[in-house]
Each structure stands twice: as structure tokens, then as C-alpha cells.
Amino acid sequence: MGFLDYLSEPSNRSVLYEQAIEHVALTAAAVAIAIVVGMVLGIVAHRNAVLRPPIVNTTATLLTVPSLALFALLIPVVGIGFKPALIALAMYALLPIVRNTVSGLGSVDPAVTESARGMGLNARQRLLRIELPNAWPVILTGIRVATQLTVGIAAIAALVGGPGLGREIFRGIRSIGSPFALDSLLGGTLGIIVVAILFDLLYTGIGRLTTSRGIR
């Protein structure tokens, strides 16, 4: 009964709501940075066989650094708060986007690129009009995975003074033993699940709208 009481308390609800908005904003900002950087890196890696291994390996290595450590490592560099959280999350989100951009572009039928070349499309036109649209479903899957990853890891951001639902979770952790600790933990966690589901629905919609019927 305790958790329902917690949820029905307007002040708790508005905290959760506010933190959920922060969480979404933090995730969206981190993923947006990761999309831009990740797709550029992915395109470079696709085009340049020499740069491909260092790019893919570096982004893969980033993902293996424990999140807590990465957040902490950034504090001396950029201080505490929104910034270190954003930078660390963007780094985590990079790998799925880079990897899927490379594999998406790599899976475009060579006959398609050859005929595009044979028709006189230059490298930029081929990339924008032919290769990216065909690789898009794979890239979008990478972005989706990156987003789910970010939504989860963003909870840790509260430890370095970052925003989001992690704050409610850590309030619960700090007050463990008190009667309300579990409510806060549950509230924050549930909020994260809801945010994750909403993002997923959004991606399903985006996927529908932005993927050509010809390659669905």
C-alpha cells in the first residue's frame, strides 16, 4: 500500500515528472551528439579501410569502461552536473551507432552503388541519396539501442550531480532503512522504464515514417 500512497502524493509525482523530463532531455541530448559524431565516424570508417579498425575499436573500448568510473574521471575535467553526464553518455551511445552505420553502409548491394556511380552521381550524392537511405534501417536500429543504453546508464549520472530519475533512486539509496527508501527506489526505476518504453514507441514511429516502403 505504501508505494501507492507515495505515488498519490502530488509533491512526489511532480518530482518524478520533473526528473523524468530531465532524464529525457539528458538522453536526447546525449544521443543527438552521438548520432552526429557516430554517423560521421561511421561514414569515415566505411569509406576508409585504414581508419575503420581504430574507429570501431576505440568506440568499443569506451563501452567497456565502467560507467561510474567514466563519470568520476570526467569530474576533474569538466566539473560536476549536467556536462560530465552528457559527455559520458554520448561516449557510451557512440558504439552502437558507429557499428551499425558501418555495417549498414557495408550491406548496401554493390550493384546498387556501381549503378549509381555509372549514372554519374558523385560521392556526396551517392552517400546522401543512395547509401544512407538504404543503410537507414540498420543505422536507426543502432540509434535505438544507443538510446536504451543511455536511458539506463543516465541513472548513474545523479552520482556526479547530474539530472534525471537517478536522483530519486539515489535519494532512496541514501535513505535506506527509512520507511520511504523503497518507494523512492521503485519510483525512480519505474520512471526509467516508462521513459524507455516511450522512446521505443517514438522509434517505432520514426522508423515507419523514415524508412522507404521499398526496403521495409
Residues contributing to the site for other proteins (CB under 8 A) = 109, 111-122, 125, 130, 133-134, 212-215
Please report how close the Cβ of residue 206 comes to other proteins at its closest, in angstroms.
16
Q: Which is nearer to other proteins, 14 or 115 (CB)?
A: 115
Q: Which is nearer to other proteins, 112 or 197 (CB)?
A: 112
Q: Which is nearer to other proteins, 66 or 214 (CB)?
A: 214
How many other C-beta atoms are found inside a 10 Å radius of the C-beta of residue 132?
Answer: 17
Q: Which is nearer to other proteins, 11 or 124 (CB)?
A: 124
Please report how close the Cβ of residue 50 comes to other proteins at its closest, in angstroms.
16
Please report how close the Cβ of residue 136 comes to other proteins at its closest, in angstroms.
8
Please report how close the Cβ of residue 141 comes to other proteins at its closest, in angstroms.
16
Nearest to 45 by CA among 116, 4, 95, 85: 95
Please report how close the Cβ of residue 211 comes to other proteins at its closest, in angstroms.
8
Q: How many CA atoms lie within 13 A of 1 on its CB side?
A: 0
Q: Which is nearer to other proteins, 178 or 212 (CB)?
A: 212
